[in-house]
A and B are shown apart, each in its own frame.
Chain A
Amino acid sequence: MIFACNDLSLVFSNPRTTEALANVSFTVEQNEFVCIVGPSGCGKTTLLRIIAGLLPPSRGEIVFSGNGDQQRPATAMVFQQQGLFPWMTVVDNVAFGLETRGVPKKERTTLAADFLSRVGLGGFLSAFPYELSGGMRQRVAILRAFLTDPHVLLMDEPFGALDAQTRILMQQELLTTWRDNPKTVIYITHDIEEAILLGDRILVMSGRPGTIQADIPIDLPRPRTLSFRQHPQFDAIYQQVWQIIETEVREGITR
């Protein structure tokens, strides 16, 4: 086990008392890729922000099993968009996670440049984010999180704002990067297919208050390519997840 959420709850008290999360508990193993799927408004982003330390829970705790290396940060988060600093060049953005840890400039720049070059972004080292397409920006943001080498990598629908074709390529690249740099990942999405493609496990959430409804292992072989959809298990898992969230999604569009 690398990290555990124990009985997390979150209550917002203003303006009215709203229970955003209730008794969320789960554990994640070393280098496991966990996808959290749920309808919008179910509290999945809130959960991620608590894990990232951006929001304190009302009850419960998050335990990281410290494997000694205090130098490495507990988490690094990839935001849906706007996560890159517009005033930093691509290479400085990627090196930022190392910068906050006090890695000397020369060293962190070399590391970041190498990392970027390996995925073919070597030509954009000194470009500013506004010069990049949305997809490239997210690639850079993901590389920054990987290079920071956190115990747990957190991703909040990183491809949610991209077009469907770009998203397919980005998913493939993420899987390659993850295979080459094994890491514990918690990935939030509302796209069931994406969750099945990427994850070792799917946690299905439902909202009001946010709770985990199911914990589904995905035993599809890796590497997974587009043909994974033909796998007989794909449909079974898809149906299983969909049945859990269907009622809530329906409520969401009819009320």
Chain B
Amino acid sequence: MARKNKANGTADRFSYGTLILVVGFLLLWEAGSRLGLISRMFFPPPSTIGTTLVRLIANGRLIDSARATLNRLVLGSLLGITPGILLGVLMGWSRRLRALFDPLIAATHPIPKISIFPLILIIFGIGEISIVIVIGISAFFPALVTSMTGVAQLDQVYFEVAKNYGASRWKTFSRILLPGSLPSILSGVRLGLTTALLLTIAVELLSAKQGLGVMIWFSWQTLRVEELFATLIAVALLGIVINSGLRVLFARLAPWSPEHNTSTSTASK
């Protein structure tokens, strides 16, 4: 049926209501903390957190930590997402490959990846390599599953059109299968990155010398709560920047696929 033109991409709409809500919450917090209604020790006023954030940026600690975190994130993601998508596309394409690997994936996918970190430490030793590997493993699965599903669920009609027009195997792959599943592949990238960020911070809490996770853990241990909050803000910003950066990138790469409209198989038969 006629799919009406949907607005291109931009899912987040700015709303004054939300802004008022946030500002109101921060004001309440500020007042409550200053007046001693809530514990200043556990919930320092937002203004203090803000100045701490500025200080941490100015003295370079936050930047250095963020850089360390970002390095691991990017390295681990590349290591995991690349093979995840390659295998995912192949498994989506070939029923035989899917039958071969699917049971393995189904068995290993549900394992919380943080739980195999000690095992990886035993094999690869304590250090950056083990950290990057566990991040890679965590990003591998969502990238694989999402891209596999996208390829497998591509509407058969497109392949029939291609076949009817005499498209070669390579044309069918490069002009139908790849672009047709690109939206799913891209959501695989995004899911992989989101999971990788989660694991990066988690592993840093456990075992790392530098990074945003380390700062969070360290500020908790030394009870510098305003630094804890400031670092949390930095982590949140990192997540937001990654997500919106990817959104812009995806709108460029797949302009035909408005963000929440990735399904191309709406035909009722």
- A-to-B contact residues, CB < 8 Å: 52-54, 73, 75-77, 79, 81-83, 85-88, 96-97, 99-101, 128-131, 133-134, 148, 161
Most buried by B among A52, A77, A130, A131: A130
Residues of B within 8 A of A54 (CB): 160, 163-164
- Selected from B1, B175, B267, the residue in CB contact (under 8 A) with A99 is B175
Q: A53-B163, A161-B1 known; A129 and B157 CB under 8 Å?
A: no
Most buried by B among A73, A76, A82, A88: A82
- Chain A to chain B: the 9 pairs with minimum beta-carbon distance, closest first: A134-B2, A87-B179, A128-B256, A82-B267, A100-B167, A77-B164, A82-B157, A100-B165, A97-B165
Residue of B nearest to A137 (CB): B2
A82-B155, A130-B5 known, 17 other contacts, Cβ within 8 Å:
A76-B164, A77-B160, A77-B164, A81-B1, A81-B267, A82-B265, A87-B182, A87-B254, A96-B161, A96-B165, A99-B171, A100-B165, A129-B256, A130-B6, A133-B2, A134-B1, A134-B2
A100 touching B171, Cβ below 8 Å = yes
B176 in contact (CB, < 8 A): yes
Residues of A within 8 A of B180 (CB): 85-87
A101 touching B3, Cβ below 8 Å = no
A83 touching B261, Cβ below 8 Å = no
Residues of B within 8 A of A83 (CB): 157, 161
Q: How far is the CA of A148 from the CA of B166 in the complex (A)?
A: 11
A100 touching B168, Cβ below 8 Å = yes
- Selected from A79, A128, A148, the residue in CB contact (under 8 A) with B255 is A128
Residues of A within 8 A of B6 (CB): 130
Q: How far is the CA of A255 from the CA of B5 in the complex (A)?
A: 40
Most buried by A among B161, B255, B256, B265: B161
- Selected from A53, A88, A99, A134, the residue in CB contact (under 8 A) with B164 is A53
B165 touching A86, Cβ below 8 Å = no
In the complex, chain B residues 51-74 whose Cβ is within 8 Å of any chain A Cβ: none
Q: How far is the CB of B93 from chain A (nearest CB, A)?
A: 17
- Selected from A77, A129, A161, the residue in CB contact (under 8 A) with B161 is A77
Residues of B within 8 A of A87 (CB): 179-180, 182, 254, 256-257
